[in-house]
Structures are given as C-alpha cells and as structure tokens.
Chains A and B, each alone.
Chain A
Amino acid sequence: MGIGAGSVLTAMTTSAIELARSPQDGSFARLRPLVAEDSELTLRWRLSERAVQLNRGSTSVEQQRAWIQGRPTTELNYLIETRDQTPVGMLSLIDIDLTHRRAEAARFLLGDEAATRGLPIAVEAMKLLYSVAFDRLGLARVYGSVIEDNPRMLKWQKYFGMQVEGRLRQHIFIDGRLQDLIIVGILEPEFRAIALPRMDGLIALAGTLSHVAKEPE
C-alpha cells in the first residue's frame, strides 16, 4: 500500500507538534506537558469556583485521567508552574492546524490564584504559549473565545493583542444561563508588535520589583 500525500502531511504535522511537546521555561513561569498524574489536581481546579466560566468537564478523577490520556495529537496541553515547579494552572493550544497555520488558545485557568499574586505568571505562561505557536510551529494565527460574563479576561486578551472578531449570540450555557461567546484572534505580526512588548514590559517590571524588594536596607 502506498503512502498518500494526506498521510505524509499528517505525519509531518504530528512530528512538528511532538517537537513542541516539551517544557517551556520563562523567568517566572514554565509550561510543562499535562500528564495523567495531574488528574486529581486539575480536576480540583476545574470544579472550583474560579472555573465557573469554563465549560463543565470531568466530574471524577477517573474521568479526568481518561480525558487527559485521550487528548488528540493536535493539542498541546500544559500545566503552568512557577519556577520552583509549583503547579498553579493550565493552558492549552488546541486544534493545531499546520496546513492553515492556526490554532486555538484554550483552557486557560489559574487554579492557585494566591500563588500567582504579584507575579506575571499568567502573562509569561501566555507568552510561552504564543512563542510555541508563532516561533516553534510557525503559525500565522491564534484565536480564542471569551464568554460575555468574563470582562476581565476579555480586557486581558485585548491588552495583549487579541482583536475581537465576532460575537456568537447565546452560544453557550455557562453559570446557569445562555451566554454570548466573543471570538478573539491574534496574528503573528500583532504578537510581535503588541503582545510581546507588553508581556516583556510586565515581566521585566516584576523582575525589577523583586530585585528592589530583595535589596538590603
């Protein structure tokens, strides 16, 4: 049996994504691949009050383990950790399509908010994810969605370069009611021109503040 062009393309896609399936290190945060052993912790986060604005998922550790193990090869699912490898959240790049050079940034959740206070953990986690998308995978576009009840997240996405591209009215049932879903997207040049300077600015500022705080009297 011969190997068709589709099979070759699929193999190339899988290979490129597998290369990106490794820890990504920053100054304050790191992303490491989500593994089955993270089931209990991530389920706890997903069932917490902070996750009320995400889709409901697994309801047991077994379900969560099966969900993690069943992730398709077109996804990169990461656990967000502090530099000392304390897990504080999760973040994913899903529906990675190397033909159309696009993917969705999704499942962004800070499970341990207290551990991230005052630190640009979320900022750097998103920067690392965008770096995987635009630098390592060569994508042209990353998109996402935010429910209307989450204005803080929408502000965050827009500040870091996402453009509002549309609104799906009453698209999703979350937190007891049908809500609009706001579609956002960022192109590779917008990442370099808008997101990266702002992310680097906050990360550098946090570094300076940490340095000042540690200086002796």
Chain B
Amino acid sequence: MTISSEQAETLIRDAIEALNEELPEGERVTAKPSTVLFGIGAEIDSLSLVSLVVDIETTLSEQYDLDIALADEEAIARAVLPFSTVQALQDYILERANESR
C-alpha cells in the first residue's frame, strides 16, 4: 500500500490536532506547512514530538500497512530532514513510503 500527498497531509494534521487536545492552551501548535517541529525555532518540546511520531507511525502501520520508523538514525542521512517543518515531515513520509512499495 502507498500513501498520497493529501493523505500524508491529513495524517499529520490529525496527529497535531490530537496532540493539541493533550496540551495546555498556551502551548498548542499550528499545523501550517512552515511550522517548525524540531530544532531551532520549534513550537513543541521533545515530549510532544515523540507523541506526534508515535501517532503518525501507528496510523501509517494500521491504515496504510507501512511500517516506517520516522526518527531512527537512518533519518539523519536523508536528503529531506524530517521534523524540521510540517512540510518536511510530509515529504519525508512520502519518501519513505515510496521506498517501502
């Protein structure tokens, strides 16, 4: 099974919405493509990042039959660095999903 760009975008947006339900009002994150998730200028801490990673990996596995580890050491060797922004995460999911086909 594979995943389209729109599906990846929806998946990330849903994960961010689920995260926001667990966060205090002042710490909620916007789901814009330019939103920084990790590194300098990030809107969330690593607890929230891990929450996103877990939700996205679970959905990829359960809904798309894609077993992708988003934050393993392999991720740093990629042309697209995941988590730098929402858009980069979407691109990274598509890159890894296409490899898994």
Q: Which residues of A contact B (CB under 8 A)?
A: 49, 110, 113, 116-123, 151-153, 155-156, 158-160, 197-198, 200-202, 204-210, 212-213
Contacts and interface: CB of A to CB of B under 8 A. Distances in A.
A158 B57 CA distance: 13
A198 B76 CA distance: 12
A49 B39 CA distance: 25
Contacts of B27: 113
B54 interface: yes
Contacts of A200: 73
B47 interface: yes
> Considering residues B19, B44, B46, B75, which has the most beta carbons from chain A within 10 angstroms of its beta carbon?
B46
A205 B75 contact: yes
A204 B76 contact: yes
A117 B50 contact: no
Contacts of B71: 198, 201-202, 205
Contacts of B24: 49
Nearest to A110: B45
Nearest to B44: A117
Contacts of B38: 118, 205-206, 209
Contact of A213 (B40, B50, B51, B54): B40
A122 B73 contact: no
Given A113-B27, A152-B22, A156-B47, A118 B36 contact: yes
A155 B52 CA distance: 10
A159 B54 contact: yes
> Considering residues B43, B47, B55, B84, which has the most beta carbons from chain A within 10 angstroms of its beta carbon?
B47
Q: Chain B: interface residue count, which band?
A: 20 to 34
Q: State the main secondary structure of chain A at its contact with B.
A: helix
Contacts of B39: 118, 206, 209-210, 212-213
Contacts of A123: 46, 50
A85 to B, nearest CB: 19
B82 to A, nearest CB: 7
Contact of B50 (A159, A206, A210): A159
A156 B82 contact: no
A209 B47 contact: no
A210 B36 CA distance: 12
B28 to A, nearest CB: 13
B40 A155 contact: no
B72 interface: yes
B76 A205 contact: yes
A152 B42 contact: no
B53 interface: yes
Nearest to A115: B45
Contacts of B42: 117-119
A90 to B, nearest CB: 15
Contacts of A208: 76, 81
